[in-house]
Chain A
């Protein structure tokens, strides 16, 4: 029986994804929901307390309930703040727990004197707090929070039912109380699930399109690389080799020339090998700034090539930010400094272990000097290149030895990236222009810190390597 090849299923969005995580800029746009909801919750709590003085038996508890709900609302606003993104699970737990505490305190303050369940401001407040989690937390989590909160309000309602002013079956009170929490919680969960799936679908398609576009340009890129390489080889190397082959004979001049050319080509190639995507990016910005008639001075300090350890999302986020900085009005073209430092081993090469190596039957041969190749043409140039290369090799060795106690692949390796730029713009304008880029940065890096001493802006953030980036 033959069957058509099944169409590949669209990969599902990770269960732990939220709108803020997947689409930081969209999350940024959704953030006002937090202060608006917080305002409604607090206002309703105050009004709800003031209009029911006859029900309140313990004013201190009623006050504590309003205070707890206010703190919960404040915690929501704080946790949702774009500059403190992402909204973590612990923050959400804190908000919901504070809301539930407020509910218990309010129930205690009106114990045996509560007239009606439906005007308990805390259950509606709790529902609204859950509603505000929609852009920030994954849907399953909101569902669990909603169910837990519903159980709390349901049980409190059941406990209060004998003393209520309305005489209906107790289960009815439970349903009313739970609906006030569950309806907004389910709405929030549904919103989160739907939007995460939509964003994930778009991202999958967009990535496929990007891969397609890249593949289309493979021929052009390969040609560009070949042209660039052959140009770097210089007009001399290939004709020289062809000439020697044609003559079938080697002169002393040829030998000397071969040495000189080998040294030159090797030097160019070594320099190219040390190039990272960050160098490319800054080179391009430098060209663009020069084309704009400016005199750019952009510094990259990444001696251990840590930039190579970044994943594609991190590269895109940093790339977009640097491009945005360079195109910002008031950007000082001589001020950009990008630095990457870290305490652990650099990511570039596989472990290179230098250790005793016993070889059966192998007799170490003393090294005769004649076999050492000396590609010396210009002593100074060589010393320069060697010093650079040695410094880098020593840095790697140092890094390898300092990290000796910890085998590679275990534990988190943290690189700290620092970007500095002078931007003479009023700080609110600068903040507004960079806010979307920072929100993206916060989604892919940890500990994003922004400090500003006008006009100098300093951004610092940490990249974690080797461990899989989990969504907290």
Chain B
């Protein structure tokens, strides 16, 4: 996927993600702290339960703050956390003869958790300020606690580096990608262009197919006719073409079929109309198969399948060198197939060039746009068979109608 975040969302999104990361870092530290103190209190001094309690309260406040992002929770976390750091440091370092100095990773755990409050800042600057405040409070509380123990004070590099890394990340995210700002709108525009072009292509495909069905077919029919009075079939189809192109919005009209009574379903289908039009032009069309299955096509599919069948019959008239064709309809639970067969001259693929537009645009693309497929069998001298397969609604839906 190429549609990245636009400039105005970058800062906010990054800030949220950093906040989430900081909270999980802090929660991990607090969990470790709680488990560590629990282990210590089980093994050595049972009086550490207050420390466990206060670290748990810190964790609770952190979760509340993560969920609600209210400043009051942040302040509460900071204050309770400072007390927690003091209690935790005093309790852990108060263990006689265990820790050689104050700079223990264990002691740093609640401090690192406290520093992470800055990750939730609304901006990089606010985050740095919150973190700095937390760092100072944590170090001060720890110092006071250490002074009260016998353990010598050593600067705590763990908390300091955590603080510096967090500040670094926030600052980096704050001065994010000035250089890439122009590219993101360009990508967005390209996606929109692509979407428009796709719709235009779909409309164009339909338009070319319709023009081929109507205008080109008509012109070819005229070019093949004998001079003299127009035959009734030719007259009718000329009339149909001109009415279609002039009087209707031929591209967007969906020729919606008013739900036909089951008995007329066959007569009102576009496939029937296509066969009738072929018969008007002198083709003998035999029809076999499940007529009722056509009812399972919706209005749009019916129209397109009809036009594709019409084009196949026109191809028979123009190229097969035979005046008879057979149309067979088959259906199963999910698809409907129309097979148009003639015993005419047939063709090989390389010879089909002149016929390409009709087959490609009026038949294949049209059916493919319905999610269907087209298979053509042909061999010179052995006839041609075209199978159009389209997906249709399930049987029971039709039964309910």
Measuring CB to CB, which residues of chain A are less than 8 angstroms from any residue of chain B?
A: 21-26, 28-29, 32-33, 36, 40, 117-118, 134, 165-169, 171-172, 175-176, 178-180, 182-184, 186-191, 193-195, 198-199, 202-203, 206-207, 210-211, 213-215, 217-219, 221-222, 224-226, 229-230, 233, 237-238, 241-242, 244-245, 248-252, 254-256, 258-259, 261-262, 265-266, 269-270, 272-273, 277, 280-281, 312-313, 315-317, 319-320, 323-324, 349-359, 362-368, 371-373, 375, 386, 389-390, 393-394, 396-397, 432, 435-437, 440, 443-444
Cα distance, A166 to B190, chains bound together (Å): 63
In Å, the complex CA distance between A277 and B353 comes to 23
Whether the Cβ atoms of B322 and A320 lie closer than 8 Å is no
| Complex A-B: 17 CB contacts under 8 Å | A22-B1, A24-B4, A186-B24, A190-B23, A207-B3, A241-B222, A250-B226, A250-B229, A266-B212, A277-B201, A312-B198, A324-B186, A353-B377, A357-B379, A362-B383, A373-B223, A440-B183
Cβ contacts under 8 Å, B376 to chain A:
352-354
The chain A residue with its CB closest to the CB of B206 is A225
State the Cβ distance, A381 to closest chain B Cβ, in Å. 14
Expressed in whole angstroms, the minimum distance between the Cβ of B322 and any Cβ of chain A is 5
Residue B176 is within 8 A (CB to CB) of chain A in the complex:
yes
Q: Establish whether residues A21 and B1, one from each chain, have CB atoms under 8 Å apart when the complex forms.
A: yes
Does B98 sit within 8 A of A, measured CB to CB?
A: yes
B69 part of interface (Cβ distance < 8 Å): no
Q: For B225, what are the chain A residues with a Cβ–Cβ distance below 8 Å?
A: 250, 255
Chain B window 331-364, contacts with chain A (Cβ cutoff 8 Å), 1 for yes, 0 for no: 0000000000101111011101110110011001
Contacts of A178 in B (CB 8 A): 32
Q: Tell me whether chain B's interface is mostly helix, strand or loop, or mixed.
A: helix
CB pair A222 B343 closer than 8 Å? no
Q: Which residues of A contact B187 (CB under 8 A)?
A: 25, 316-317, 320, 437, 440
Q: List chain B positions with a Cβ less than 8 A from chain A.
A: 1-6, 9-10, 13-14, 16-18, 20-25, 27-29, 32, 35-36, 39-40, 43, 98-100, 104-106, 109, 112, 158, 165, 168-169, 172, 176-177, 179-180, 183-184, 186-201, 203-204, 207-208, 211-212, 215-216, 218-220, 222-230, 235, 238-239, 241-242, 245-246, 249-252, 318-322, 341, 343-346, 348-350, 352-354, 356-357, 360-361, 364, 368, 373-379, 381-385
**Residue in chain B with minimal CB distance to A361:** B343
Task: Known pairs A258-B219, A366-B345; list 9 more (Cβ under 8 Å).
Answer: A29-B10, A29-B180, A199-B5, A203-B3, A245-B239, A250-B228, A273-B360, A365-B321, A436-B184
* Contact call B106/A188, Cβ cutoff below 8 A: no
B21 contacts A188, C-beta separation under 8 Å: yes
Contacts of A29 in B (CB 8 A): 10, 176-177, 180
Task: Give the docked Cα–Cα distance between A312 and B138 (Å).
Answer: 53
Which label, helix, strand, loop or mixed, suits the secondary structure of the A interface? helix
Q: Does B207 contact A359, Cβ atoms closer than 8 Å? A: no
Are B321 and A25 touching (Cβ within 8 A)? no
Determine the distance from Cα of A23 to Cα of B176 in the docked complex, in whole angstroms. Answer: 14
Distance of A337 Cα from B26 Cα, bound (Å): 54
Q: Among the listed B4, B16, B104, which residue makes an inter-chain contact with A194, where contact means beta carbons less than 8 Å apart? A: B16
A354 adjacent to B20 (CB under 8 Å): no
Q: Are B375 and A351 in contact (CB under 8 A)?
A: yes
Q: Which residues of A contact B368 (CB under 8 A)?
A: 350
A172 to B346 CA separation, bound complex (whole angstroms): 85
A210 near B24: Cβ-Cβ < 8 Å: no
Known contacts being A195-B13, A358-B382, A393-B349, is A241 close to B177, with CB within 8 Å?
Answer: no
Instruction: Report if A269-B176 is in contact (Cβ < 8 Å); known contacts: A187-B24, A350-B373, A365-B344.
Output: no
Contacting pair B346 A25 (CB below 8 A): no
Residues of B within 8 A of A32 (CB): 172
